[in-house]
Amino acid sequence: MRKLAFHEAPVAIPAAELLTIDDQPASLGAYAGKWMVLNFWATWCVPCREEMPSLDQLQADMPEIAVVPLATGANEPAAIRRFYDQAGLKNLPILRDPRAALGRQMGVMAMPVTVIVNPEGEEVARLIGDAVWDSDNAKAILKALVAGG
């Protein structure tokens, strides 16, 4: 978690039209009112794939937060489903940003990037690169945020 950088002031997250795995419209607004761990990833990104099981376990361990992976760019729905099945991911939603519009608006230049979002929908911290999200350290930081610390 050494790479987790907190912002001096929260940063608004732009509205974006996202898709579910079945091409239905989706929005991050569905998670309003909860702390969110928003992870920009891609099926072809090896570090992304390696950290995904820890994000899945984080969601299982901390249901009070929303862990939201966002498949960014050209990720075929079949490849996403196959990866979720192979990795045994059971706790995470599947959202897609096929044109990487949100990633571009938020300055995501490479993946993985994980953004911590407050209940008001603002970015409060960012981690560039992969991390072990179900570690005691990561969970302690998130628990402190949820508790208002």
User: What is the domain count for the chain?
Assistant: 1
Spatial distance between the Cα atoms of 13 and 2, rounded to a whole number of angstroms? 23
Q: Does the pLDDT at position 149 exceed 70?
A: no
Could you list the residue range(s) of the whole structural domain that residue 45 is in?
4-146
The strand pair at 18-20 and 25-26 is best described as antiparallel
pLDDT, one tens digit per residue, over 55-95 is: 999 999 999 999 999 999 999 999 999 999 999 999 999 99
Supply the CATH number for residue 38's domain.
3.40.30.10
Please state whether the peptide bond connecting residue 14 to the residue before it is cis, i.e. omega within 30 degrees of 0.
no
Model confidence, pTM? 0.96
